[in-house]
Structure formats: structure tokens, C-alpha cells
Chain A
Amino acid sequence: MAVTEMGASSSVRKEARSSLLYDPKVRGFVFQLLLVVAIAYLVFTATTNAIENLKRLNLASGFGFFSNVSGFDITQKLIEYSASSTYGDAFIVGLLNTLLVAGLGIVLATLLGFVIGIARLSSNFVVRTLATWYVEIMRNIPLLLQLFFWYVAVLTPLPGPRQSLSFPGDIFVNARGLFMPAPIFGEGAWMMLAGLIIAPVAWFFIARWAKARQEATGEQFPVFLTGVALMIGLPFLGALLSGFPITFDRPVLKGFNFAGGMRVVPEFVALLLGLTLYTAAFIGEIVRAGILAIHRGQTEASNALGLRAAPTLNLVIIPQAMRVIVPPLTSQYLNIVKNSSLAAAIGYPDLVSVFTGTTLNQTGQAIEVIAVTMLVYLTISLSLSTFMNWYNGRIALTER
């Protein structure tokens, strides 16, 4: 009896094993093998085609062009750069310009976005309606169209340098950009700079000390006021000690243009304006959703504890809402970085415009140029999302 049963079960197993077609392991293996073969085939054909095409078009390959002279100038540069600099320098100039506009855009869009998001939930009808329409209009019109609007319709038709709009403090606005006095740091200016660096560090440590003291004794310390006083006072002290070494280089109208001072190109203004206004609408929606996700009981409880509206928002609602807000906020920050590449459309010299545009046109080395550009954006994206994930993990709810 037992023997036959054994025999039956083993024959069943043998049968199951005999049909390889239905073995999930074998199937999975075959399937993956097919995928690998298909991808390898694709890569192989693409490479052979590329090699053939490059030979036919007589194009160079490799990254040697990075040290060749570029021969074009760039309107906005944060480092020394001229037409006799190399493509490598042009790449760095473009990258820095991208980072500058994206960084400023992130800060401004976050500030405006929080204001919009909170205004969307205001009990004030006028404020709420305004914020709602702002969001609906901004996020339903393509960013590129908004950039064209700011650049072509608003900034370009501004009067020429001779008819500039002038503002108090030697600030001039015209079709060539925004002209401002540029500070020149004389001898001993490092003391001011040191003050500027020491102040936030001191602020951080005072805040830590004050928090520890409050947790131990319950005594409060005016951290914010002290911090502000430090931020203003320390650089001022530095300036006082070194005898005010700062002078201003004022922009002066000479002939047909301004000389001296600091110039912000209109492309930068248009791009920053467009990025900020567009992304603020999305951030506003995220903030609103985050605040709505916090239970009403939290507001009521903090009111019952005697907190006013502002501390309720700052100490109770926002810290909890941040947990909901941060993940989608991360993808908005990434969007700002990626959308800053729209600069190419209005001629702001960002990475895409300088490198993927001009450099590619001049060298014709499409594969290398595009691979490098994509790698840069991937690196920025990945590092930004890593940082935001770290921040998210820090503020996440610690469940005990």
C-alpha cells in the first residue's frame, strides 16, 4: 500500500518535472535570457550603426574636445570665461548658471508656494479666491509659454539704456537687463565676511543650547531675536573694526550702455520669474494638501491649550504637515532643476543652452555631449533626492 502510494507521488513529481514549459523557474530564466539577448542585440546594432555613421560623417569621437578653444562668449558667467576659453570651461559656466537659477528658483518658489498654499485655506474669501485662481491659471499654462511671455512680451520691449526706468539706489531697468551697484571689497573686508559666516553658526549652537535648556528647565530663550541681532551685528562689527572697507561701483550711463555696476541679464530674470511663479502653484497645492491631511482635532487641541493662530500653525500644524509635504516637494525641486533647461528657448546660458546647444553644434559630437549632459542631470536629480530622503527620514514620525 505504502509502496504504491510512494510510487504514485513520485511519478506525479516526475510528470511535473518532465514538462519544462510549466516550470516557473525555467520560464523565468528563459524569459530573462530573451530580454538580455534582445537588449544586447539592440545595443550591438546601435553601436555598429553609430561607428559606421560617425566614420561616414567624418566625426571625431572621444572627450578630447573638452580642452579645445570654444570661440564663443557667454553673456552671464560666474567664473572667468572668454571666447578663448575651452569647451570644458564653457561646460562649467553653463553648469554653474543652471545651479544658480535652479537654487534661487527653489528658494523663491518654496517661499511663494507656502504663502499660496496657506492662502488657499484662508477663511478670507478674497484671499482664498485669488490664490485659487493663481494656482489654476499658472499650472494650466505651459511653462515655456510663460517664459516666452515674460521674455518676449514683457522684458524685451523695455526701453533702451538711455530711457531706462530708474529706481532709488542707482538701480536701472532696461531692455539690456537690470543694473545695480556692485560692492567692491577693500582691505579688511574678510572681517565682515567672517562675521557673516560666524553668525549663522553661532545661531545654530545657541538654538541647540536654548532647546536643551528649555527641555531641562522650561525657561525660554529669545533665539530668533538673538539670531537676527547676530546676523546683523557681527558683520557690522567686522566692518566697524576694519573701517568700512566696502565701496560701491555704481552703474553709469556711458554712450549707449551702462558701464560699471552689476548687470543681471533679462534672460535670467525671465527664467527665474517663470520658474518661480509656475512651480509655486504646484508647491501651493502640495502645501494645501499637506495641511488638509492634518486632523482638525490638532488645531482644536492647540487652541484649547491657549495657542494663538500663528504658533498653532508654526508649532503644531506645519511640523506634522511637513511629513506629507516633503516627498512631493522633492519631485517639485527636481522639476525646477529639470525645467531650468527651458533656458535654451530664451537664450539664458544654462548647461543645455551652452553645452547641448552651442557646443554640440560646433563640435558635432552628439553622443558625448548628450551623454555628459544627461549624466549631469541624473547626478543632480539623484543627489537632490538622496538629500530630501535623508531630510524626510529625519522628520518622519518615529513610532515607538
Chain B
Amino acid sequence: MSMSSDMNTMGIGFVRTEQAPTLSPPASTVGIIGWARANLFSGPVNTLLTLVGILIIYIIVPPVWNFFIANAITVGKDRTECLVEIPGACYPYLVARFQQFIYGFYPEAERWRVNLTALLCFGSVAWLLIPATPRKSWMAAFFFVAFPVLAYILLSGAFGLPKVATSLWGGMLVTFVISIVGIVVSLPLGILLALGRRSKLPLVKLFSVIFIEFWRGVPLITVLFMAKTMLPLFVPEHLAPDQLLRALIGVALFSAAYMAEVVRGGLQAMPKGQYEGADALGLSYPQKLIFIILPQALQIVIPGIVNTFIGLFKDTSLVTIVGIFDFLASIQSSLTDPVWATPWTAFTGYGFAALFYFVFCFGMSRYSKFMEERLARSHKR
């Protein structure tokens, strides 16, 4: 056999004894060109889509870039510098109004209180959100119990701190106050409602279902209108809450219903064995919930809670409509200021507001995605 094959090779004039050098693939299939051909221009339809896409980018990106970067006005004392023919963002207006966007009409001498509260708030939230930090339960206890009291004392004044009426609060301060109070109240309330909805007691269940479905079925604006106009009628005259508190109550009840549905998802995702195991150990109902079910169920729904919070954060802007001076309202009112009235002021103000909301919401949604992937990894078997 080998003899004959040798004979055969001998019969042929040339046989390559080593492998030929590999040629690089054709230039049209590698590199940027190859990628573009495969992804962007693989057929007539695809080519058309690419061209339309590029056209859309061309229509949107250069004007936005020119407006906010290239043609922007960076220095000026009033509207005269910003009254230009070529559209350009009026940054001096933002700088002049910046303090009001953050604090509203909070007295200047007392603003350190707002800063301190913000520091405490963002510090503890960061502690809770970063997975590596220790003693999360202590921090959670601080954030949900001690911090609200502390923040109330700091912001509205007590124990020697001068009182600051909530009608003076405004800007980002109010936006954060509403969303933080919303989450701090709605999470425990939502947990109770979710437990109520899964309860075996018919009346508890009925009450929870009606409560949840009612708030989920009506728009937040009507809730805010209700809190503004109806709530004061239901309490004795001397107890009538101030405007901000009314909105806070409305937002908290509204988001509690949404939170309840998120938490219910976590409770339902718990395997039955967890409940039965806790029962078999002889744990009472509160013990079962606190030590077995809730720690696991809440961990599953962290992404859902963050998503609800994103929605809540965006929805706080609705309080503008019932006359509360939140961040969006501070932008809106600055547009009517004759000192800065130019054709480009509105675009500048809304651009800044959009950036503010986008940074927070996008950041949180990234975080929720990160947690989702982390959970998915730890749940893999």
C-alpha cells in the first residue's frame, strides 16, 4: 500500500511537502469594509435602511451638537448676549438660575442643611446599593427609620434650627424629597399590601385587592388633585396638611400599590418549600416572613423595585401641575423670567432638565440590569 503511494508520488513532477502560506482573506470581507458589507450593505433593503438611518442621524446629531456645544453662549450677564441669530444654548441663564434649580427659595443661610441631608441620603443609598458593603440590614434600618426623622428635623427645622416652611422648598430638593419619601413609605406599605393580597383571610385579601386595583386604575394626576382638594375636607380644619404633605400622601399611596404588585411577584416566585420548611421548623407567621420569606423575596425583586423607583422619580414631575415647585416647575417658571427671555432659553432649560432626569433614570436602569445579571448568576445551578 505505502509502496504504491510512494510510486504514485514519484510519478508526479511536484508535490508540496509543506503547507502553503495562508493568504489573507479578500480585503472586501475583513476589517471595516468587510464588516460594513456584511452588516450594513448586505442587500438592497439593508442598504436602504442604512442610508435612511444615516440620514436620520445626520438630521438630528449635528444640530443638537451645534446647539449645545459649538454655538453655545457661555458668558453673559443677561439675555442680550444670548439673543443671537444662530441657535445656541444660553448657559449663563443656567448658571444664574442654578441655585434655584437646586434649592428653590430655601433661605440661603440654611442651605447647608439641605446639603447635609443630601449627603446622608446619597451616602446611605449608595451603601445599600453597592453589593460589597457590609451590614446592609443596619443601613436599611437607618435609611427607613432614622433617616426620615433626621431629614425632617434638618429640612423643616426643630431643636433650635430655624423653621423653613415647605412653601419655600423647591427645585431638585422637592423632587428628591417626594421620590425618597415615596420609596420609604411605599416599600413597607407595599410589602403589607402584597402579603394582604396573598392572605388566606378573605376580608384582608379583599381589602388589599380593592386598594391595589383602585390606585393602579386611576392616573396620578387625579390622585394629586384628590390629595390637594379632597384630603383637606376629610380631616379636621386645624389638622389640614400643607400642600407638599398632601402631594406626599398622594404619591406614597399611589406608589405603594405599584410596589405591592412588584413584591407580590417576589412572594410568588418563592418555592413552596420555603414556606413549608419554615412551618416545619415551628416558626410563627411573623418569624417565617422576617427570617425566611422576605429576605429572599425582596432580593429577587430588587430590579423591580428599582424600576418602580425610576417610574416614581419621573412621575414626581407631575406635582408641577398641582402647583408644587419641584425641579421641573423651577425650570418652567424660569422660562417666564423676562431677564432671560430668548428664543433659545426654553431649549436650554428643557435640555438641562432632560439631562438631569436622564442621568438619574439611565443610571438606575443600568444598576437594575446589573443586579438582574448578578442575581441570574447566583441562581444558576
B318 in contact (CB, < 8 A): yes
Decide if B222 touches A141 in the complex (CB within 8 Å). no
- Partner-binding segment picked from A84-92, A269-277, A376-384: A376-384
Stretch binding the partner chain, chosen from B101-109, B136-144, B165-173, B228-236: B228-236
Cβ of A143: which chain B residues have Cβ within 8 Å of it?
314
- In the complex formed, the residue of A with least CB distance to B347 is A153
A378-B218 CB under 8 A given contacts A124-B40, A153-B346: yes
Q: Is B292 an interface residue (CB 8 A)?
A: no
Docked complex Cα distance between A153 and B318 (Å): 19
Chain B, 184-219, CB within 8 A of any chain A CB: 200-204, 207, 214, 216-219
B368 → chain A, closest Cβ, in Å? 12
Q: Which of B268-276, B293-301, B356-364 contacts A (4 or more CB under 8 A)?
A: B356-364
CB–CB B357/A144 < 8 A: no
Q: Verify A370–B317 contact, CB threshold 8 A.
A: no
CB distance from B366 to the nearest CB of A (A): 10
Instruction: Across the interface, name the chain A residue whose C-beta is closest to B236.
Output: A49
Interface residue ranges of B340-358 to A (CB < 8 Å): 343, 346-347, 350, 353-354, 357-358
A212 within 8 A of B: no
In the bound assembly, the distance between CA atoms of A54 and B39 in angstroms comes to: 69
Which listed segment binds B: A250-258, A311-319, A339-347?
A339-347
> Out of B202, B221, B328, which one reaches A142, CB within 8 Å?
B328
Say how far A59's CB is from chain B's closest CB, in angstroms.
9
Report the bound CA distance from A153 to B217 in whole Å.
32
Contact partners of A127 in chain B: CB under 8 A = 49-50, 53
Question: Which A residues touch B318, using CB under 8 A?
Answer: 144, 342
List residues of chain A with CB within 8 A of the CB of B347. 153
Q: How big is the A interface, by class?
A: 35 or more
Q: Are A124 and B219 in contact (CB under 8 A)?
A: no
Most buried by B among A136, A142, A339, A356: A142
Kindly state the separation between the CA atoms of A338 and B328 in the bound complex, as whole angstroms.
20
Judge whether A46 is part of the interface by a CB distance below 8 angstroms.
yes
B221 touches A125 (CB 8 A): no
Asked whether any CB of chain A lies closer than 8 Å to the CB of B315, the reply is: yes
Most buried by A among B53, B202, B328: B53
Known A-B contacts A49-B233, A345-B320, A370-B229; the reply to A338 vs B357 at CB < 8 A is: no
A56 to B214 Cα, complex, angstroms: 30
By a CB distance below 8 angstroms, the chain A residues around B232 are 53
Q: Tell me whether B86 is interfacial, beta carbon within 8 Å.
A: no
Docked CA distance A270–B118 (Å): 35
Please give the distance in Å from B29's CB to the nearest CB on chain A.
16
Q: Is A130 an interface residue (CB 8 A)?
A: yes
Please give the distance in Å from B196's CB to the nearest CB on chain A.
Answer: 9
Bound CA span A31–B229, Å = 33
A377 to B218, alpha carbons, bound, how many Å?
6
User: Are A374 and B328 in contact, with the CB atoms below 8 A?
Assistant: no
**Are A141's CB and B50's CB within 8 A?**
no
Q: How far is the CA of A46 from the CA of B65 in the complex (A)?
A: 56
B353 neighbours in A (Cβ, 8 Å):
145
Contact partner, B204, options A32, A50, A122, A148, Cβ 8 Å: A32
Interface string of B298-334 (1 = CB under 8 A from A): 0000000000001000110110110000001000100
The complex places the Cα of A345 from the Cα of B357 at a distance, in Å, of 19
Q: Is the CB of B357 within 8 A of A142?
A: yes
Count residues of chain B with CB under 8 A from any CB of chain A: 55
Are A374 and B226 touching (Cβ within 8 A)?
yes
Main secondary structure of the interface of B (DSSP, over half): helix
B350 touches A360 (CB 8 A): no
Query: Is A140's CB under 8 angstroms from B357's CB?
Result: yes
B79 to chain A, nearest CB (A): 15
Do B332 and A148 have beta carbons less than 8 Å apart?
yes
Asked if A367 is at the interface (CB within 8 A of a chain B CB), the reply is yes
In Å, the complex CA distance between A370 and B214 comes to 13
Is B46 engaged at the interface, CB distance under 8 Å to the other chain?
Answer: yes
Question: A370 to B335, alpha carbons, bound, how many Å?
Answer: 31
Q: How far is the CA of A144 from the CA of B326 in the complex (A)?
A: 13
Chain B residues with CB under 8 Å of A153's CB are 346-347, 350
Cβ contacts under 8 Å, A125 to chain B = 39-40
B50 x A49 contact (CB < 8 A): no
Given A49-B236, A142-B314, A356-B225: A35 and B207 interface contact (C-beta under 8 Å) = yes
Is B237's beta carbon under 8 Å from chain A? yes
Chain A's closest residue to B38 (CB) is: A123
Contact between A136 and B229, CB atoms less than 8 A apart: no
| Known interface pairs A36-B203, A145-B317; A126-B346 also in contact (CB < 8 Å) | no
Cα of A344 to Cα of B50 in the assembled complex, Å: 40
**Which residues from A are CB-within-8-Å of B202?**
32
Q: Is B317 a contact of A144 with CB atoms below 8 Å?
A: yes
As a 0/1 sequence over residues 22 to 40 of chain A, the CB contacts with chain B under 8 angstroms (1 = contact) are 0000001001100110010
Question: Taking the complex as formed, is B56 at the interface, i.e. its CB lies under 8 A from any CB of chain A?
Answer: yes
A127-151 interface mask toward B, CB cutoff 8 Å, 1 = contact, 0 = none? 1001000001101111111001100
B57 at the interface (CB under 8 A from A): yes
Q: Does A152 interact with chain B (Cβ within 8 Å)?
A: yes
For this complex, 11 residue pairs linking A to B, each with C-beta atoms less than 8 Å apart, are A45-B234, A49-B236, A140-B310, A141-B314, A141-B357, A142-B328, A144-B320, A144-B321, A338-B218, A341-B222, A360-B225
- B residues at A contact (CB < 8 Å): 39-40, 42, 46, 49-50, 53-54, 56-57, 200-204, 207, 214, 216-222, 225-226, 229-230, 232-237, 310, 314-315, 317-318, 320-321, 328, 332, 335, 343, 346-347, 350, 353-354, 357-358, 361-362, 365
Q: Given contacts A54-B233, A144-B320, A153-B347, list 15 more A-B pairs with CB under 8 A.
A: A49-B234, A49-B235, A56-B237, A123-B42, A124-B50, A130-B57, A136-B362, A142-B328, A145-B354, A334-B217, A342-B318, A352-B221, A356-B222, A374-B222, A377-B217
